[in-house]
A and B are shown apart, each in its own frame.
Chain A
């Protein structure tokens, strides 16, 4: 199975800050990388697919980059509603494994 490792596991930031979360795959996955976020008590929501393509309806402050083994999710200007847990997921091969999650808190 492909292992996905996110960093950091948690972070705290202020409104308006630029935030970056990284995700590393245990082998090359080209651009087969999705990003989701999950607010407490809710189902996950797809933010980005194919490493950098913004899902319809997702605010443009979210962006993704990377290919191969190293990927980044960036929030350009943090908003209160961005408090959530963020997950990366590889879809290169089954099982479509997830990272362990990054908990983002607003200061």
Chain B
């Protein structure tokens, strides 16, 4: 059974850093990528980027370039998302999700098929 379990809620002060973990099980970690998505209170979903489970390659949304670092530990099948210089508008639930490729008719389509439960990050002085 594929599972994705995230670390617990965090409360941080403005300017601090946070590191959220995403522990996976039930599948071959190196065969899939992990995407990160966040959701501010009462708002929609915002795609942050993804990291390859195979070689650690990353692709960040421009908005988060330079402030977010995604990493993996293949020995524990865990992905991490670290965000620095936190601001109040970074208050959100952060989700990780497994990126699966569905290859149909010569094209491969990606989607987040298994999601973590979310990690609430609160930034407040």
Contacts and interface: CB of A to CB of B under 8 A. Distances in A.
A95 B107 contact: no
A89 B102 CA distance: 15
A20 interface: no
Contacts of A100: 44
A31 B47 contact: no
Given A53-B102, A95-B62, A99-B44, A46 B113 contact: yes
B111 A46 contact: yes
Give the one of B35, B44, B61, B113 with max A CB within 10 A. Answer: B44
Interface in B95-125: 95, 97, 102, 104, 107, 109-113, 115-118
Nearest to A49: B111
Contacts of A87: 44-45
Q: Give the secondary structure class of A's interface.
A: loop
Given A32-B109, A49-B109, A94-B61, A43 B45 contact: no
Interface in A23-58: 30-32, 34, 36, 38, 43-46, 49-50, 53, 55
Nearest to B93: A43
Interface residues of B, number: 26
Contacts, number: 69
Interface of B: 35, 37, 44-47, 49-50, 59, 61-63, 95, 97, 102, 104, 107, 109-113, 115-118
29 contacts: A30-B107, A34-B109, A34-B111, A36-B45, A36-B112, A43-B115, A43-B116, A43-B117, A43-B118, A44-B97, A44-B112, A44-B115, A46-B111, A49-B113, A50-B102, A50-B109, A53-B104, A55-B113, A87-B44, A89-B45, A89-B111, A91-B110, A94-B59, A95-B63, A97-B47, A98-B44, A98-B46, A99-B44, A101-B44
